[in-house]
Amino acid sequence: MNSIEALIKRLKGTALVSETDVRTQVAVPLLDLLGYPGPNRAEEFPIYGFEGRKPLQAKPADIVLFDSNGEDHPRPATSKSVPVRW
């Protein structure tokens, strides 16, 4: 696929029934067409939060774009890993 117009034509009449469908068939191809490099993208990336000093359970973001190749933004091995700090 080489244009946004071609993406729209391909999607016309397509049944998107889940968030995964939207991410894989719409968002990721659109980001590629807009020039965002794949290595700078993470899907289902864990985002950590805090309530006061208490760490909250990580929640995955559907898509996260970084301004580098991702090497300085490692995906934690488990949800119990130390939160990533930037």
* Amino acid 72: pLDDT: 56
**DSSP-assigned states of every residue in 5-22:** HHHHHHHTT----SHHHH
pLDDT tens-digit series, residues 55-70: 999 999 889 888 765 5
Higher pLDDT residue, 19 or 86? 19
pLDDT tens-digit series, residues 11-52: 998 899 998 899 989 999 999 999 888 888 888 899 999 999
Rounded Cα distance, 28 and 48, in Å: 23
